[in-house]
Amino acid sequence: MPQGKPEVVPDDGLTTRQRRNRPVFAVHTGVMKGKSTAAFGMALRAWNQGWSVGVFQFVKSAKWRVGEESAFRALGRLHDETGEGGPVEWHKMGEGWSWSRKAGTDEDHAANAREGWAEIKRRLAAETHGFYVLDEFTYPLKWGWIEVADVVEAITNRPGRQHVVITGRDAPAELIEAADLVTEMTKIKHPMDAGQKGQRGIEW
């Protein structure tokens, strides 16, 4: 795709503008770091376009504030105060899962994950956001807590022009098949290979 142009233009009856403005469903998967970071980079572009950004984290603990969260909350405040960019909402599943931020059993976590997905489905139906980041969302799919078919159906048939990016390892084949953009992060080298732990400003 030299200079961002497709090598082949499909004979689908759409104009260039119509094809360019279709909503994108992206999946960032693979074993290497950078999946969420890339998704947040896309969300930053969405914010700059004035779109409403909704971030939903499905694994990271409610007590763990990642650097991107602080930055996007600041951008949300900037929008509220000046109108610049777009509104931002950032939701965590509590202690790794729960909207109510309470620890519990695996059954509790599965129920909370399903509740979180149900809320996202409601927002997709209502066209609440222009851009969604479902961070680490492949895990409740992999563990069978949420039905992959339900996710594929809801995202594939979402109304309007809502962009969705899902991150996490081991993305199900059905999710990859349904996505418009799939990136697999593959490790070549990592500082941890040499015994170096994660560090501030790089991992969080």
Domains in the chain, CATH or no CATH each: 20-61+74-98+110-186 (3.40.50.300)
pLDDT at residue 64 is higher than 60: no
Nearest to residue 151, comparing CAs of 161, 164, 169, 160? 164
End-to-end CA distance of the chain: 32
Q: What's the whole-model pTM score?
A: 0.87
Check residue 101 and give its pLDDT.
45
On the question of pLDDT at 100 being above 80, the answer is: no
Q: What is the structure's pLDDT at 195?
A: 81
Which of 138, 35, 39, 132 minimizes the C-alpha distance to 90? 132
CA gap 204, 200 in Å, rounded? 6
Tokens 């763990």 -> residue: 64
Residue whose pair of structure tokens reads 């991150």 in the numeric block: 167
pLDDT band at 67 (very low <50, low <70, confident <90, very high): confident
At residue 90's C-alpha, the angle toward residues 87 and 95, to 5°, is: 170
Per-residue pLDDT, 19: 63
- 99: pLDDT confidence band, cut at 50, 70 and 90? very low
Q: What is the pLDDT of residues 117-153, one digit of tens each?
A: 999 999 999 999 999 999 999 999 999 999 999 999 9
The whole-number average pLDDT for the span 31-39 is 93
String of b and e for 125-160 (b: at least 16 CB within 10 Å)?
eeeebbbbbbbbbbbbbeeebbebeebbebbeebee
- What's the burial of 172, exposed, middle or buried (CB within 10 Å: 0-12/13-18/19+)? middle
Q: With beta carbons less than 8 A apart as the criterion, state whether 40 and 133 touch.
A: yes
pLDDT band at 18 (very low <50, low <70, confident <90, very high): low
Which helix (H) or strand (E) segment is 46 a member of?
helix 35-48
The pLDDT mean for the chain works out to: 87
Of the candidates 36, 37, 65, 59, the one whose C-alpha atom is nearest the C-alpha of residue 145 is 59
pLDDT band for 109, please (50, 70, 90 cuts): confident
Burial 10-39 (b: 16+ CB within 10 A, else e): eeeeeeeeeeeeeeebbbbbbeeeebbeeb
Percentage of residues of the chain with pLDDT beyond 70: 81
- Residue 175: pLDDT band (50, 70, 90) is very high
**Most confident range, picked from 4-13, 45-54, 90-99:** 45-54
CA distances, 17 to each of 11, 22, 61, 91 (Å): 14, 9, 41, 33
